[in-house]
Structure 1
Amino acid sequence: MFDDIDLQILHILQEKARIPNAEVARQVGMAPSAVLERIRKLEERGIIEGYEVRLNPRHFGQKLTAFILVEASRAGNGRLAGELAAITGVQEVHQVAGEDGYLVKIRVAGTEDLGRILRDDFMAIQGVISTRTQVVLSTIKETRRIDLEPPPGP
């Protein structure tokens, strides 16, 4: 799938995606052209999905984070996830096992916005039976980083 050098490159890019290619090459002991080719292949294979800037939501008035469990009817499941994902403020939509069909992460300005979105947007989607909301009081850890371990030996 990938080797130790690929893992080193992925570690470096997870720490600082904007690092110059020449610096990545220096750290792994390879020519910049070889590193660039490896990165291109990792992107083509979907191992690297993209690069994004992490913004602080508080600077944009999004001070409240909540997780919403959405109970969905079977009839609504086909298109429901896409409709949930399209709601303003929704950052993640996960289909989950159990009585609830989806777990949704949302960021909004405050409880007034959250209440309006639950009432006007979530409950307007055909197939949504009910919602249960957990408001985040504080966030201890939040990351999209993947723990990279060397591949198991033979």
Structure 2
Amino acid sequence: MAELDEVDYGILHLLQSNARDQTPVDMAESLPVSAQTVRNRIEKLEERGVIEGYVPVIDYEEAGFPMRVKFACTAPVGRRTELAREALEISNVVRVEEMLSARRNLHPLAVARNADEITAVTQALDDLGLRIESERLLRTHHHRPFNHFGEDDVSNE
């Protein structure tokens, strides 16, 4: 597998910043390549699986799901990936992080309208055979795109 170069990293950063409103023409203005090169690179990044998809960032509270609960669960190490996939199929579970550890190795995130929905998720996780170590109500989260260059600006000015 060929390594990514600065153009690829620039494209990834720009897509993470605002994929919805970034056209290849817009990206080419920030990068030292043409819009067609940007299109080709994006296609190759998608084919290689570097870009897995484009998803919106949802404010679940504004969408009517004021409760967000992050679980810390322990799965048998040999079944960790299988149980992560099964946990993701549970209604109201929107993400599952798989950790490289013997304990607390699955972190499902559930969104809900009320405590009854959270209780149903808790029961479903338990029914899978996961040991629930903790449940924490998430207040908020902060995120930013990863800048592969370690600078504030991705352009070559």
Task: Show the counterpart of 2:149.
Answer: 149
Match of 1:17 among 16, 19, 26: 19
Task: Show the counterpart of 1:49.
Answer: 52
Would the alpha carbon gap of residues 142 and 66 (structure 1) be closer, same or farther in structure 2, given more than 3 Å must change? Answer: farther
Task: Using structure 2 for the length normalisation, give the TM-score.
Answer: 0.77
Shift of 1:85: 1.0
Shift of 1:77: 4.5
Alpha-carbon distance in 2 for matches of 1:7, 1:79: 32
Shift of 1:38: 1.4
Task: Show the counterpart of 1:3.
Answer: 5
Question: Comparing 76-85 with 90-99, which one deviates more in the overlay?
Answer: 76-85
Task: Using structure 1 for the length normalisation, give the TM-score.
Answer: 0.78
One-letter identity of the residue aligned with 1:148? H
| Percent of residue pairs identical | 23
Would the alpha carbon gap of residues 113 and 149 (structure 1) be closer, same or farther in structure 2, given more than 3 Å must change? Answer: same
Secondary structure at the residue paired with 2:61?
Answer: helix
Match of 1:110 among 91, 111, 114: 114
CA contact (8 A) 1:71 1:100 kept: yes
Would the alpha carbon gap of residues 99 and 140 (structure 1) be closer, same or farther in structure 2, given more than 3 Å must change? Answer: closer
* Structure 1: gaps (5+ residues): none
Alpha-carbon distance in 2 for matches of 1:147, 1:111: 38
Would the alpha carbon gap of residues 15 and 129 (structure 1) be closer, same or farther in structure 2, given more than 3 Å must change? Answer: closer
* Structure 2: gaps (5+ residues): 151-157
Secondary structure at the residue paired with 1:59?
Answer: coil
CA contact (8 A) 1:76 1:128 kept: no
When Rg is computed on C-alpha atoms for both structures, the one with the higher figure is 1
Secondary structure at the residue paired with 1:123?
Answer: helix
Match of 1:132 among 131, 134, 155: 134
Alpha-carbon distance in 2 for matches of 1:101, 1:56: 26
**Root mean square deviation, CA, Å:** 2.4
Match of 1:90 among 88, 93, 98: 93
